Structure formats: C-alpha cells, structure tokens
Chain A
Amino acid sequence: MAFEDLKREYTERQEKALAMGGEAKLAKRRNAGLLNARERIAYLLDKESFIESGLFGTSSVVPEDRDTTPGDGKIAGFGTIDGRHVAVVANDFTVKGASSSLTNMKKIGHVKLVATQRGMPLVFLGESSGARMPDNMGAKGMGSLLGNDPTQYIRSRETPWASAILGPCFGSSAWYACLSEFNVIRKGAVMAVASPQLASLAIGETVDPEELGGWQLHEEVTGLADLVTETDEEALDLVKTFLSYMPAHHNEAPPHRPVPSGSDDAARKVLDLLPESRTRVYDMRKILRALFDRDSLFELKPRFGRVAVTALARLGGRTVGVIANNPLVKGGALDVAACEKITRFIVMCDSFNIPLILFVDNPGFLVGKEGERQKAPGKIMNFMSALQLCTVPKISVIVRKTYGQAYLNMGGGRNSDEVAAWPTAEVSFMDPIYATHVVTWGRPERDDPAKFDSIVETMRKESGVWDIASIYAVQAVILPEDTREWLIRMLDVHELRLTGGVGKHLMSHWPTTY
C-alpha cells in the first residue's frame, strides 16, 4: 500500500478518535458549562505536555462497538504539572458514559504501573457510569473483564494520587477516588457505589442523586471529599495546588518553595488571637494562618470532623502537615469524625515524608453515647497507633489545655519528637473541677464550697506549664511570638538527614478510608 494512503488512513483515524463522542454530545456539554475530557487534560497539564497512551484503543469485547468507542471511553497518558512529570486518566463521558471495559481498564492498569514504577503522581478525572454493559455481564464477561488483576486495588502509597469527581462517578471512578490521597468534588457531580436508577431497580429505593452521593453528603457526612468547587477548572486548580505540596514519589522529600514576604509579620502578634479566659473558644485556624508561611494553609476536609483541622502548609518554605484542635467546635473536644480525619491525614503525611506539626488545645476526647455508638475507643486507638508508627518528625505546640488520653494523641508523653508549651498551657488528666468531684466523692469536702474550691485551685496550679517543664515532659516553654521561629528551627533540627528526608513508611499499606 502506498505510504500516502497509510498516512491518510492514520490521519482520518486520529481525527475520529480525537473527536470523542462527536460534536453533538460535545456541544451539549459546552452549553452546560462542562469541560470535556480532553479540555480537562489540557487545563490540568502544562501547555502541550500531554502525550497520549492508547489513542486508538476501542472496544474489544463487542465487535459492533468498535467504531463507536474512540479511545474506548477513557483517555490516558503522561504530561507535566508545574514542570513535574505526572500520569493522568480522564473519563470521556461522551463515549458510552466512559463505562469500564477491557481495553480502557488495560489503559488504566498501564499508566498506573508506569506511574508507580517511575515515581510519578497519578491524577484521575472521574466521570463514569461504571461497568459497561453487556461487556461485563455473564460469567465470561466477569471472568475476563473483572478481577483479572489481583493487585488492582492495593494502595501502597508509592506516589501521590489525586482525584477529581467531575460528573456521575459509579464503580471504578468512585473506587479510585477513595483510594486517592486527595479527592475534590464539583457541585452537581455524584459519587456512589451505583446509580440512583440501579438503587431504584435493585432495592426499590427512590433517591435523589444528591442524597445518594452529592457534594454535601461527601463534604459533611462521609468526609470522602476533601474539597468542593463550583467549576471543573477550580477542581483542577485544587488538584495542582495539592500536588504542589507533595513529593513526586515516596523516596524524596517534598519540594521547597520560596517563603512569601511578610510571612513573619502576623506571627509576632499571635497571642492577640487567644482569649484571656481559658473557657472561651476561638478559631484555631486564625492562629495557624498567622504562624505558617503567608497564604500557605491548605485545609483538607474543612467541613468534616470540624473539631480538628487537618491542613497542608509551608513553614520556612517546607511542606508540613498540620493537625490542630479547634476550640470553636465542641470546645475542641475530639469526636469520632475528627479522629477519622486525623488518622487518614497522619497516614498520608507519613507515607510522603511530610513532617507533622500539632497544635494542641482540647479538653480531652468528647465523651457520651453518640461517640460510643460510633466506636470511639477504636477510633482513638487508630489515631494513636498511627501517630506512634510515624517516622516523620512530629512537633507539638501546647497552646492551652490538653487533657487525658488526648494529651497523648496530640503528641504528649513522648509521642511527638519535640513538644513546646505556651505559658498558657494546662496539662492534666481532666478538668480540675471534674477531678475535684472525683477525689472528694463520699467525703465532707464535697459539700464545703471553700474546701472544694481550694482543692480545685491546687489542681489548677499543678496543671500549669512550669510543673511539666520542670520534669522535662515538654522540651521548651516558648512565648507565643517566638513560635514560628521555634518551629522552623525544630524542623531544621529534626530533618531526616540520614535518609535524605525519607521516612520508613510503616503505614504505607494502611486502609484509605476510616
């Protein structure tokens, strides 16, 4: 065959594949304000950096589908984000709802393997109707398509994975979203095991898609979304922001960034943000924003487990993972959702060589029936085990109270490598008033207000910072205005010099949802 003919056929096939599901479907999306798969890839990656893998893949299961499945509905390949190499999988909803079938699953398997073996982050752009029918039906369909890779869903955290839920996501795009370190959902998109239609057919449940798996559910109730956006573009921007804090793979330290000017200013006045009364609440995030590099606080799951703050940030240009109690919510008493959020965050930071900074102000773990029904003791232990398994540096600052087991979970009792306390710190087993109730049970002092108050006063004094400093249970007492500098110096001291900043990753195979 003449080379000209071959070239012409190549160009025709290429154009057909690049046209995705056709102009009519693409126009519909455009009018709805939605990007298509190739536009999403182009927006995400550095200009013209995308090199595709499997452009000419099609359905290989149903012969009649060969000409109607350009790319087999999922677009995969490699490119760069901010100059760093990444792998990407984008679902093309205009081709059979981006449903999963043999060819496209092989594509995902390939880029996943390459990303893992070559040390690149992997990004999933989710919008998929789930398994393709009839391809996956029947014993042969199941036997050849599903379950062919016994390592498919192992999450070893060798390179960071980021996921964006940009449309209905059932089946594989939901699975990969849950396995990812970071998951952003655009309003209107839905993530669930299966579609509302299937719920209706299978169990007779009529349910609104938002109720089944919409942004509000995942932002506030399940915590399976880290952040929520209005548009595709904002979601893709957040994926890039997340990746900017992370190393490209688990065998390197996270990247350094320049320190924005003015980062030291607010830190000097941080004590102004703390109420004088020890029983008044405040928003811990204001203190955090004042202490970390300017505009670097990137909070994850801000509306889930709100008693805790989990945020990536920078300190002197280095990525850190911030875990803080927020007294604004429930007085700072750690509840089950906060424990779950913190546990997952610890596992992520430790797996990717990100030091942890813990800001402590809590009256203990929240007690009561509600927490017990949610397995509070088990969740507290997950959190505790995770902290103890860390091999990244852990640095705690006790701002105000820290009571009971929560004292340990937030780094006390040698669970952090360094602990500093502000002069306002108070370390005790429980609030002095409760403790006085306990020790005076059945004794005359209980009914004598003067004696009772005197016991409370003694206990309060003995919870103060000088007692704990004198026995070296905290390594430093620092003035609030010196906190930023102390933290930067401690990060320098605790740098993992022996391994080039790389930890032992003892939790790299831990579960992804808590």
Chain B
Amino acid sequence: MARIEVKSEVTGTVWKIECKAGDAVDADADLMILESMKMEIPVMAPEAGTVADILVAESESVAEGQTIAIIET
C-alpha cells in the first residue's frame, strides 16, 4: 500500500471538491476542481485507490506544489 501526495499544479482557488475521505477513485478521476486564470482546472487521481484525506476546503487558496489530497493505493 502506498500513500500518494496529490499536489496542486497551479496557484489558484479551490472551486469544487468532488470527493470525500473514504471514497474509492479510479485513475484520472476528478478529486477537485481548482480555479486559476478563470479556468476550471481538474485535479485528477494519479492512480486508482482510496481517498485518505482532503487537505483543503472550497474557496481556499492553494499554491503550486502544495499537497491538497492524499490517495492510498
């Protein structure tokens, strides 16, 4: 079992969180949607697994490189 830190690729704002801790997700499933430069940018699960933790809330600012979710495979 591995713990994967999912990092934000952009500096922006959390617009919509699409999952919660405990959910099973496929690879490339949308975990949340960020907003930056007026675009809706999905953050996708890098691998299939279970969402262990969502570390941010809607409307929160995030920085590029910040860990925003943890997936367990």
Contact = CB atoms under 8 A, between A and B. Distances in A.
B38 A363 contact: yes
A279 B12 CA distance: 14
Interface residues of A, number: 20
B40 A281 contact: yes
A329 B10 CA distance: 9
Contacts of B64: 368, 370
B42 A364 contact: no
A209 interface: no
Contacts of A327: 39
A171 interface: no
B11 A281 contact: no
A364 B36 CA distance: 11
Interface string A318-347: 000000000101111100000000000000
Interface in A346-371: 363-364, 366-370
A329 B38 CA distance: 13
A59 B35 CA distance: 62
A434 interface: yes
B43 to A, nearest CB: 11
Contacts of A331: 10, 36-41
Interface of A is mostly: loop
A320 B67 CA distance: 39
B9 A329 contact: yes
A433 interface: yes
B8 to A, nearest CB: 10
A330 B10 contact: yes
A368 B11 contact: yes
Contacts of B11: 368-370
A443 interface: no
B9 A333 contact: no
Residue of A279, A327, A364, A367 with highest tally of chain B CB at under 10 A: A279
B9 A279 contact: no
A330 B12 CA distance: 10
A280 interface: yes
A191 B40 CA distance: 38
B23 to A, nearest CB: 22
A324 B40 CA distance: 19
B38 A279 contact: yes
Contacts of B10: 330-331, 333, 366
A239 to B, nearest CB: 30
A431 B37 contact: yes
A217 B34 CA distance: 27
Contact of B38 (A366, A370, A434): A434
Nearest to A431: B38
Interface string A267-302: 000000000010111000000000000000000000
Interface in B18-65: 36-42, 64
A279 B10 CA distance: 15
B41 A281 contact: yes
A300 to B, nearest CB: 20
Contacts of B42: 281
Contacts of A329: 9
Nearest to A366: B37
B36 A330 contact: yes
B36 A279 contact: no
Contacts of B39: 279, 281, 327, 330-333, 363
A280 B38 contact: no
A202 B9 CA distance: 36
23 contacts: A277-B40, A279-B38, A279-B40, A280-B40, A281-B40, A281-B42, A327-B39, A330-B9, A330-B10, A330-B36, A330-B37, A330-B39, A331-B10, A331-B39, A331-B41, A332-B39, A333-B36, A333-B37, A363-B37, A370-B64, A431-B38, A433-B38, A434-B38
Top 7 closest pairs, chain A to chain B, by CB: A331-B39, A363-B37, A431-B38, A333-B37, A330-B10, A279-B40, A331-B37
Interface of A: 277, 279-281, 327, 329-333, 363-364, 366-370, 431, 433-434
Given A331-B40, A333-B37, 13 more contacts: A277-B40, A279-B39, A279-B40, A331-B10, A331-B36, A331-B41, A363-B37, A363-B38, A364-B37, A366-B10, A368-B64, A370-B11, A370-B64
